[in-house]
Amino acid sequence: MPALINPSILSADFVNLERDLAAIAAADYVHVDVMDNHFVPNLTLGLPIVRRIAEVSPVPLDVHLMIEDADRWAPEYAAAGAASVTFHAEATQAPVRLARELRSNGVRAGIALRPASPVEPLLDLLPEFDMVLVMTVEPGFGGQSFIEGMLPKIRRARQAIQESGSSTWLQVDGGVARDTIGRIAQAGANVFVAGSAVYGAADVAGEIAALRQLAETLAA
């Protein structure tokens, strides 16, 4: 699979968000972190802003819901214009039903795991999801350091995806940068969320290209 680079606008300038969206036109998706100050101890943006982002973004929206009651709210973000909606396994009562509802609305359905959540309960259900997101930092804040202990988890997920024959994407979010993306790609991820590494670079488009090249060159 080609490496997909999804910059997180959590590291963008929210006062100049349209400008910072235009800056990542070379990316594959824009990663939109939605936080509710309940599931995680931070508050970002909600449906009206996501709807407006979808109207002006040069790339499709990869919405990551770090919110409670995902069963209720995830379909609303699909309706708001997201191309992909990822909800947390820890925040849903019926993950398969929710994934099927999202897919029926024409969007990709992803399921995310906190660092301490095991991937094993999902392995028999992989064909139900378009993407599995392995968090490699604790969700809720940008700029955290990559947790090396997540690499075996990524490997287990990739092995299960291959054995199932599914086309499920494997995404990693947290601490993705030039010095970590190679190890993450070698472990089996093919979708990479990078926030501060992209928006902190002097050449944003150049950084996206460099990350993509590193991931594809060093992938397993």
Q: CB neighbours of 119 closer than 8 A, spacing ≥ 6?
A: 113, 132, 134, 153, 156, 157, 160
- The 3 state secondary structure assigned to 73-141 is HHHHHHHCCCCEEEEEHHHCCCHHHHHHHHHHCCCEEEEEECCCCCCHHHHHHHHHCCEEEEECCCCCC
Query: Which candidate in 20, 28, 130, 173 is catalytic?
Result: 173
Give the three-class secondary structure for 35. Answer: strand
Phi, psi of 113 (to 5 degrees): -130, 130
Q: Is 20 a catalytic residue?
A: no
Q: Which residue in 141, 220, 136, 118 sits closest to 177, CA to CA? A: 136
DSSP summary character for residue 8: B
Query: Which candidate in 33, 62, 71, 130 is catalytic?
Result: 33
Could you tell me which residues are beta bridge partners of residue 7?
194
Buried b (16+ CB within 10 A) or exposed e, 108-127: bbbbbbbeebebeebbebbe
Looking at the annotation, which residues are catalytic?
33, 173
